[in-house]
Structure 1
Amino acid sequence: MKKTLVFPLATLTLLVAACSPSGGETDSDDTADIAKKARVTASATASPTPTLEEIPTASPFILPALKGKPQSSAVSLLRDHHFRLGLITNRAAHKEISLPSGGNFGRWIICSTDPAQGSRITNSTELYLYLAQTASACVRPTPKPLPKKTYSAPAPAAKKPDPMSPHTCPDDGSQPGYACTSTGKVVVEGEYCAGADHGRTLKASNGRMATCEDYNGWRWNA
């Protein structure tokens, strides 16, 4: 098996110089050809210089409908458009929702976006995703109505009997309101009582129980 010897460019140059005739006998054409072949050989054996791969640039595209999709699905879709994921901001759909502290939004549902679906965006557009844990949680809860104040009508005041009007009262004076004497008048504490009322105890006009007794004369005394 034949082996191919590869010499560095500097070594080939020295060999060419050594093989070239000295003085005025040098053939300039042959020397140029040999040097050119040596450079071609050296170029072929050298490793190519790596070049940076061109970074793909996102073309403007229409933002698709992301509402109702999991956040992870939306990210994958945007990645296919070479959208810069660092421009995505996740936010709660409304103030009653608390986002997870670890930033694990993969299964959270997109309630809305800003810009809205159908907007024309590029890879330099800031995109806000408003999230909730479930699709039903996207709807802001309706606040409970405040209880209505009810006002009850005041109870009618008890009508006081007219002291001047006649009354029919039981003998024991247990009827609410004013009791009446044997003459049909209201019992008033301290006033004189008739002979038919001697010893009777009735409810006086001041609400106290008064007895018709002889106390400096027969009077209604409590």
Structure 2
Amino acid sequence: MFHRLVPVALLSVLALAGCDDGTTTPTETAETTRPATASASTPGPSATPSPAVVMPDLRNQTFHEAQQELAGLPGVRVTATARHKDVTLPKDHGSWRVCDASPRPGTLVTADDTVVVELAKQAGDCEISHHGYLHETNDPAYTPPQTQTPEPARTPTSAPATSKPAGDTLITCSDGKQGYACTSNGHPVVDGQFCPSADHDRTLKATNGTMVTCSYDPSVKPYRWQ
């Protein structure tokens, strides 16, 4: 029985001797090489910010085309508005044209931005603006043009073009006859003949070469060359 106890005692001594010279036991090694558990306070990976993209030029595109192009900017919100103050944007405005957009083309935008597009029914309407109004008459500052009242026609008081002042040269009147001067009704001035009321107080040269005046003659007729 003594012999059986010796090996056991010897092993115990050797185990104690190993602790004294600084070596580690298998149990101690397992504990020291165990990986550390991450603390609850250790921060996780930071969220990647949304990348900024360049705002495209949407002018002259339809609103539907602009929506398709802006679909490539994830998270960007799109708001449509009418270009002019006197125009109401219809519910179905997909075919309306983009006049302008904000932010401007070439500006960096992110998912937190809102793109506002101004629309007009036709591309040509984008260039029209009467203080922000499409129709000039809707502009509060519009003043209608004043209509001018035409002047009444004046009754000519002078002799017609066929009548010429007295002179030394015979002329042909509108009746085809010659004289030194013509009456207002187109006849040569003849001394002693009746004269039109339109020639009253006119003095012209008669066919006999004398100067006569269309004046009142109560003996025969109201007016006569005399």
TM-score range, shorter chain: 0.3 to 0.5
Query: What is the TM-score with the length of structure 1 in the denominator?
Result: 0.42
Query: What is the TM-score with the length of structure 2 in the denominator?
Result: 0.41
